[in-house]
Amino acid sequence: MRPYLWSQAGNPSSVHAAGRRARQAVDTAREQVASVLGCKPGELIFTSGGTESDNLAVIGAAKAGARHGRHIVTTAIEHHAVLFAARALKAHGFEVTELVVDQGGRVDPDDLAAAMRADTILVSIGLANNEVGTIQDLASLARIAHEAGVRVHTDAVQAAGQLDINVDRLGVDLLSLSAHKLYGPKGVGALFVREGVSFERRSFGGAQERDRRAGTENVPGIVGLGEAVKRAEADRESRSAHMRRLSAALIERVTAQCPQARLTGDPERRLSAFASFAFADIDAESLLIRLDLDGIAVSTGAACTSGSLEPSHVVQALGLPERFRRGSLRCTVGRSTTSAEIARAGDAIVRHVRALRAVAAPPSAVG
Ligand SMILES: Cc1ncc(COP(=O)(O)O)c(C=O)c1O
């Protein structure tokens, strides 16, 4: 990325040599991403990240399809970049069905089939959830939508680097990516839009990205995205196996020692990096702070709005019993995480959960 910040800082739209070198770098990145997605380079739009890709996909595809109908189907556990984009369309006369999920976070294909209507124009279902790691059987879901003649978008932001994101095998028409989930830079992503899929642009100005997204390209970011996608795919299986071993060890360590811990998400169909829990009768924010002081970085998955802590929409959609709703902890391992770190993190979680429960719960309930 560094040359494209300094010595090769040409604008890819410029015709002179510096501009052509920048254009070449963008083209190379486009080929790198296309080769992992199994699509044509021209089917990719570079964006400012997963949020923009999701917004563009949902709004761009919905508006373009509006003459055929105004019904969109998504799920209750989508990232807000999808969910809020879909809900925003209601003000423009669209109807949105948010499918419920089972306790593990999986969409029932029969529910999707039942939600299809003559005026349905788009289905948007994330390949894997970003709070609990649950993986959907997207190929089957996409088949149901296509049989009804409906386009399919998937948010693959969390799944990329851990799952196969070949667009034909997934059977999707639109797919969102973000570089920073792949050890790439923040603030850059891509949207795949299958050739022939109608799509309405959301930004106006220059004719960049084949007239689908105006504005000078983020050349260093795009170079970083291309390289990150390529490297993530090259060692995806070995890295996933490593992460699977570590997350399984963390799950085992925590659930064996904390009777009041529940694994959240699907026990089998989950991303290898994920070990997400819900603890009864504790506030996960306090747990997070204690772990942070120990040098362990986790998140709660809970949205924090104006000082009041509400369980996240994902935790709510999983239907956890009330006692568990504030105790949701999202742990993820990475390519450089070690077994020793997992042992330390597991012991710290158990120690702090016990301490918090001793303070919060009546003595008989301490586990
Ligand atoms: C599933 C999912 N979709 C979308 C996004 C948004 O991506 P970005 O932060 O690149 O805008 C994220 C980010 O965490 C995510 O996990």
Three-state secondary structure string covering 65-122: HCCCCCEEEEECCCCHHHHHHHHHHHHHCCEEEEECCCCCCCCCHHHHHHHCCCCEEE
Lowest mean pLDDT among 284-288, 311-315, 349-353: 311-315
Q: Is the CB of 49 under 6 A from ligand 1?
A: yes
Confidence band of 305 (pLDDT split at 50, 70, 90): very low
Q: Where in the sequence is the domain holding 145, given as residue range(s)? A: 2-234
Judged against a pLDDT cut of 60, whether residue 367 lies above it is answered with no
Number of Cβ atoms within 10 Å of the Cβ of 195: 9
Residue type, 232: A
Residues 198 and 67 in one domain: yes
361 and 242 both lie in a single domain = yes
Q: Which ligand 1 atom is the nearest neighbour of the CA of 49?
A: 10
Ligand 1 close to Cβ of residue 155 (< 6 A): yes
Could you tell me if 199 and 248 lie in one domain? no
The more confidently predicted of residues 38 and 307 is 38
What's the 185 CA to ligand 1 centre distance in angstroms?
Answer: 13
Strand (E) positions, 173-327? 174-178, 189-193, 261-263, 274-279, 303-305, 308-310
pLDDT of 359 reads: 84
CA of 178 to the centre of ligand 1 (A): 7
Could you read off the pLDDT of 258-268 as tens digits, one per residue?
A: 988 999 999 99
Angstrom distance (rounded) from CA 241 to CA 230:
18
Q: Is there an atom of ligand 1 within 6 Å of 78 CB?
A: no
**Residue 308 pLDDT greater than 90, yes or no:** no
pLDDT tens, residue by residue, 106-158: 999 999 999 999 999 999 999 999 999 999 999 999 999 999 999 999 999 99
Which CATH number goes with the domain that contains 275?
3.90.1150.10
C-beta separation of 252 from 277 below 8 A: no
Q: How confident is the model at residue 302 (pLDDT cuts 50, 70, 90)?
A: low
Same domain flag for 292 and 148: no
| Domain final residue, candidates 187, 211, 234 | 234
> Quick one: pLDDT at residue 306?
43
Percent share of the chain, pLDDT over 90? 91
User: CA 266 to CA 362: how far, in whole Å?
Assistant: 31
Q: Name 71's bridge partners.
A: 95, 120
332 lines ligand 1 (CB under 6 A): no
Is residue 362 pLDDT above 70, yes or no?
no
* Binding site membership of 134 for ligand 1 (Cβ less than 6 Å): no
On average, the pLDDT of the chain sits at: 94
Domain boundary among 219, 234, 249: 234
Same domain, 357 and 253: yes
Q: How far is C-alpha 351 from the geometric centre of its chain's CA atoms?
A: 31
Tell me: do 11 and 105 sit in the same domain: yes
Closest residue to atom 7 of ligand 1, CA basis: 50
Residues 258, 354, single domain; the answer is yes
178 within ligand 1 shell (Cβ under 6 A) = yes
- 47 contact partners, CB below 8 Å, separation of at least 6: 53, 56, 188, 189, 190, 191, 213
From CA 39, how far away is CA 194, in angstroms rounded? 8
Is residue 189 within 6 Å of ligand 1 at its C-beta?
Answer: yes
Q: How sure is the predictor about 364, in pLDDT bands with cuts at 50, 70 and 90?
A: low
Whole-number Å distance, alpha carbon 286 to ligand 1 midpoint, is 25
- Measured from the CA of 128, which atom of ligand 1 is nearest? 1
Comparing 41-50, 66-75, 218-227, 355-364, the range with the smallest average pLDDT is: 355-364
Ligand 1 pocket test: pick from 129, 138, 178 the residue with the most ligand atoms within 8 Å of its Cβ. Answer: 178
Please tell me the distance between residue 15's alpha carbon and the centre of ligand 1 in angstroms: 34
Is the same domain home to 275 and 199?
no
pTM to 2 decimal places: 0.95
Q: Do 336 and 212 share a structural domain?
A: no
Question: Quick check: 354 pLDDT over 80?
Answer: yes
**Of 51, 127, 313, which is best to mutate to test ligand 1, by the most ligand atoms within 8 angstroms of its C-beta?**
51
Reported as a pLDDT band with limits 50, 70 and 90, residue 358 is confident
Lowest-pLDDT range of 25-34, 112-121, 293-302, 305-314: 305-314
310 pLDDT higher than 80 = no
The CATH number of the domain where 130 resides is what?
A: 3.40.640.10
Task: Tell whether 259 and 353 lie within a shared domain.
Answer: yes
224, 273: one domain? no
Active site residue 331: no
For residue 196, is pLDDT > 60? yes
What pLDDT shows up at residue 74?
98
Q: Ligand 1 centroid to 50 CA: how many Å?
A: 5
The Cα–Cα gap between 10 and 20 comes to 8
Residue ID of nearest Cα to ligand 1 atom 5: 50
Q: What is the pLDDT of residues 338-348, one digit of tens each?
A: 999 999 999 99
For residue 75, what are its two tokens?
């799920």
- The count of structural domains within the chain is 2
Same domain, 169 and 252: no
Per DSSP, 136 falls in state P
The number of C-alpha atoms within 13 Å of 248 and in the hemisphere containing its C-beta is: 10
- For 74, phi then psi, to 5°, come to -140, -165
Domain boundary among 211, 234, 257: 234
Chain segment 18-71, per-residue pLDDT in tens:
999 999 999 999 999 999 999 999 999 999 999 999 999 999 999 999 999 999
Catalytic residue among 39, 258, 304, 331: 304
Rounded to whole angstroms, how far apart are CA atoms 336 and 325? Answer: 31
Centroid of ligand 1 to alpha carbon of 127 (angstroms): 12
